[in-house]
């Protein structure tokens, strides 16, 4: 048997051993239960509550900005109506 074939087979066996070791480690990591499920649940609930509060605050800020922009637009239109300012579109005859 040539040396290159022996090296290839040893490389395949080494890769197989590494693959089996990684799979065994992953299996044991996924099979392990959390150390304290109560704390994990509380942490998840706290993170969810924080995310919901952040979303509420962002929606509130967005609504405030929209309301201010709408108020400015309505104030401008109302001032123009009260001052009887109007624009007239004049079409040119060609």
Instruction: Read off the pTM.
Output: 0.41
Round the CA-based radius of gyration of the chain to a whole number and report it. Answer: 35
Q: Where are the domains of the chain?
A: 1-28
**Cβ–Cβ < 8 Å for 40, 34:** yes
Predicted local distance difference test score (pLDDT) of residue 74: 81
Q: Is 78 left (phi over 0), alpha (psi -120 to 50) or beta?
A: alpha
Provide, rounded to the nearest whole percent, the portion of the chain with pLDDT above 90: 0
Percent of the chain residues past pLDDT 70, beyond the cut: 77
For 64-76, the pLDDT digits (tens) are 888 888 888 888 7
């Amino acid at each position: 048997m040539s040396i290159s074939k022996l090296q290839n087979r040893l490389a395949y066996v080494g890769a197989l051993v590494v693959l089996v070791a990684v799979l065994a480690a992953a299996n044991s990591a996924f099979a392990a239960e959390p150390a304290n499920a109560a704390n994990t649940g509380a942490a998840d609930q706290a993170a969810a509550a924080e995310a919901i509060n952040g979303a509420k605050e962002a929606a509130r800020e967005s609504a405030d900005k929209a309301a201010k922009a709408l108020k400015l637009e309505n104030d401008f239109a109302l001032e123009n109506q009260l001052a009887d300012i109007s624009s007239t579109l004049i079409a040119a005859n060609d």
